[in-house]
Structure 1
Amino acid sequence: MPEKTFAPYAFDGGLTPETLRSFMVWCARQQSSDIHLQGDNHFVIGRHGRLVRASPFAVADDTLAKLMDDVFTPELRPMVRGGVSVDRALQLDGNADGRYGLERGERIRFRVNLLQGTAGRQDSTIGWTLRVIPSVIPPLEEMELPAELMEHILPAKGLALWGGITGSGKSTALASTYRYCMDHYPDRKVTTKEDPIEFILGRPGDILPALQSQIGKDIPDFATGIRADLRRAPSVIGVGEMRDRETIDAGIRAGQLGHLCLSTTHIDSPGEVFARLINEFAHESREAMAWALLGVLQYVVVQTLLRTTDGKRTAVREYIIIDDHLREKLGEMPWSQWGKHVNSLIRLEKRRIVDQAWLLYQQGRIDAAELAVVMSPRQRRELEAESIA
């Protein structure tokens, strides 16, 4: 439901490149997660998982196109009009005059996607989606991670993965982990490969600020960046996503050589990680890659965000720690059965996302509609029966 108390941005002085940038800063101040701009439509923001109108007027498509040239570069619009989906990082910096409503030295960053399509009566418009990147990286200690996971969050080496759908907080969790490493283990060198760079990890006083490399700007792809890092004595290698065979292979190789590789992947449960990564390889090499993965994998976390009844959101997670005992147990069965075994352990221990969502529902913290986002009718019947028993 739209928030009845939410008032759109006034745009005093009209819509100009300057007021648009000020609007972006205002959106960040409003705890928005996303900004959605499309021709012949009001500006819309995502706030605590809900979409609300954020401008008092609709914006003509040609006006939005001209604004795009100023906010980015004129060369970008022909690319998108030609059918290319463009990802960019956008940073706004304040100065002594309080430009955009930012104080001197203050900055706000956005992850931007630009894509052409049909929207309503507009046959061809460029849609902007801007993900607001918080200026302050949330402290890992305040993310309410389970004690067991917190204890294993920075193993000496190997591969550790965060999973979940887009917008589930994976990038934030990784940024918090990198910052935690730099604060508590300053002798561990941190590097990242991102597409695009989101959080700026370095702070004044760091012995060695994290070197963050962007795909398409600093390095051609994730795999190349990982391989280059192997010659640069890193302790922790952050990788935006395990998205293809070359990146997965390089990540496993880094773990085998004594580095810690942290990354993300699109999975719905920890057990899915094996099929998701191994099936990227040719059939004849999957067995070998499965054993290589098992040898380096340290933990897998899957996270999602649920809208709460107080108008905010909360993170729920399920995870598995791959310790020596579990590694030995999985080694006794074909790799095709590893995922089923891992998920069965999480289910038996009642640590699934659906178990946590059910508890939140019983406590009145989420409603039935939000519960249905993560739980099937069959799962709900099972949990209701268990509650009665």
Structure 2
Amino acid sequence: MNEIFDRVLMAARKLGASDVHLKVGRPPIFRIRGQLRTLKDVPAMNSDVIETFAVNIMNQRQHAIFMENCEVDLAYGTEDGFRYRVNVFRQRGTTGMVMRIIPSTIPSFDRLNLPARVRELADEKRGLVLVTGITGSGKSTTLASLLEVVNVNHPAHVVTIEDPIEYMFEDKRAIVNQREVGFDTMGFRGALRSALRQDPDVILVGEMRDHETIKTVMLAAETGHLVFSTLHTVDATETIARIVQMFPHEEQIAVRLQLAAILRGIVSQRLLPRADGRGMIPAVEVLINTPRVQEMISDMHRTHEIVDAIKEGANPYGMVSFDQSLTNLVRRRLVAYEVALAASSNPADFELAFRGVTGGSGDDDVEFEL
């Protein structure tokens, strides 16, 4: 049974898909360059096939979680060395699955089309670095590339806490210990508290999901560690607001002061289809925590000014706003104007700069021989 799905996943990789959707009554559906595409001439999948595959790739604990919660996250590896982040869930009484394809090698930072200033965040000695964006915006890939910069260049002890482990690191100058929730630890909070007793230099927390995890992450950054993590927020201003709002009202002033002191930078991403059709490319907002930004984080009445600080912070700090990033991508002919306009933070202002630039579109279906 797994051989059928391995062929589906091989087809997805060859077509450059980022995700595979498996739903009863439909053939496999791939997300390619941000668009959902249906495989032509492939029969619909029935419930027995999908459910059997789902059960086969779960261990006993994951199956128990699925039976209790009707959903579970896990990682799946094929014999040819490829890995997938999997969510199995129930919908309308049947089992469904979405599988995120994890590249077999960690992409070098230079291949990601990210601002050079982002790479420098990996050279920080302590503090908090956040990578934010919606699901599928490339957060995990950016974090992996930054950790690989640490791995190659610094004799450090790196501890990662992930759910599940995605990219696999090989020790270079650094020692990298990767802990997977559900296999190596029971949860983010406990693993993070334990990590502080494991002589770490750098800690990666896959996601700051709750108040206690955020509190411990901030403590780790405050006590001399470099901490990387993610949030599902769209930009720097929302990220700061989300962190503060996770705390009781009476603690929020202190949290703002603490965050202003430990934050090193926020990288927010939106993935867009490339104009040449060769995959996706990130538009990136970069906030660097300068003394001016520290004041804006500390004062709730000035946090909205961060947007202007980013726009004005290119020199000498290397900051960039989303619209500045999009403008650069259009001028370099990497993203079509219409795509950039739809993704811009201020479409009216963005439109003024690019009147008359146009782009193209693609088909809904793709062909591949399984």
| TM-score interval for Structure 1 and Structure 2 normalised by the shorter chain | 0.7 to 0.9
Identical counterparts, % of pairs: 28
Match in the other structure for 1:151: 120
Asked if the contact 2:211/2:246 (under 8 Å) is kept, the reply is yes
Larger CA deviation: 67-76 vs 158-167: 67-76
Looking at structure 2, the residues matched to 148 and 195 of structure 1 have their Cα atoms a distance apart, in angstroms, of 28
The yes-or-no answer on 1:275 pairing with 2:241 is: yes
- The higher relative CO (CA closer than 8 Å, separation ≥ 6) is in 2
- Length-normalised TM-score, structure 2: 0.86
Q: 1:233 & 1:160 partners in 2: Cα distance?
A: 19
Deviations 1:259-295 (A, max 9, x none): 0000011221112222110110111111111111111
Q: Where do 5+ consecutive residues of structure 2 fail to align?
A: 315-319, 356-370
1:51-200 matched pairs, under 5 angstroms: 51-54=36-39, 56-72=42-58, 80=66, 83-93=69-79, 102=80, 107-118=81-92, 124-185=93-154, 187-200=155-168
Distance in 2, Cα, partners of 1:255 & 1:381: 39
Equivalent residues in 2 for 1:1-389, closer than 5 Å: 16-54=1-39, 56-72=42-58, 80=66, 83-93=69-79, 102=80, 107-118=81-92, 124-185=93-154, 187-203=155-171, 206=172, 209-311=175-277, 312-324=279-291, 326-327=293-294, 329-330=295-296, 335-348=299-312, 351-361=320-330, 365-367=334-336, 369-375=338-344, 379-385=346-352
> For the Cα contact (< 8 Å) 1:149–1:321, is it kept in 2?
no
SS in 2 for 1:152: helix
CA 1:254/1:338 → structure 2, altered by over 3 Å: closer, same or farther? farther
2:334 & 2:293 partners in 1: Cα distance? Answer: 34
Instruction: Note the C-alpha offset of 1:85.
Output: 1.6
* Amino acid of the structure 2 residue aligned with 1:59: M
Q: CA deviation at 1:386?
A: 5.5
C-alpha distance 287-31 of structure 1, shift in aligned 2 (>3 A): same
What displacement does 1:69 show?
2.6
5+ residue gaps, structure 1: 1-15, 94-101, 119-123
Range moving further from structure 2, 83-92 or 340-349: 340-349
CA distance in 2, matches of 1:289, 1:78: 38
Quote the offset at 1:73 in angstroms: 5.1
**How has the CA–CA distance of structure 1 residues 77 and 145 changed in structure 2, closer, same or farther, with 3 Å as cutoff?**
closer
Q: Secondary structure at the match of 2:186?
A: coil
Q: Which moved more, 1:57-66 or 1:125-134?
A: 57-66
Can you list the C-alpha shifts for 1:327-367, whole angstroms capped at 9, x where unaligned? 3x437xx5313431211212345832133324544665434
SS in 1 for 2:137: coil
TM-score by length of 1: 0.82
SS in 2 for 1:286: helix
Q: Deviations over 1:130-163 (max 9, x none)?
A: 0000001011133233233333333100111011
The alignment partner of 2:300 has SS state of: helix
For the structure 1 residues 290 and 207, does the alpha-carbon distance in structure 2 shift closer, same or farther, using more than 3 Å as the test?
same
- 2:74 aligned counterpart, secondary structure: strand
Deviation at residue 127 of structure 1 after TM alignment: 1.1
Q: Which structure has the bigger radius of gyration?
A: 1
Contact 2:58 2:74 (C-alpha < 8 Å) held by counterparts: no
CA distance in 1, matches of 2:151, 2:329: 34
Moved over 6 A (4+): none
Q: How many residues align?
A: 348
Note if contact 1:83-1:116 (Cα within 8 Å) is conserved in structure 2. no
Please say if residues 75 and 86 of structure 2, whose CA atoms lie closer than 8 Å, have aligned partners that are also in contact. Answer: yes
Contact 1:81–1:116 (CA under 8 A) maintained in structure 2: no
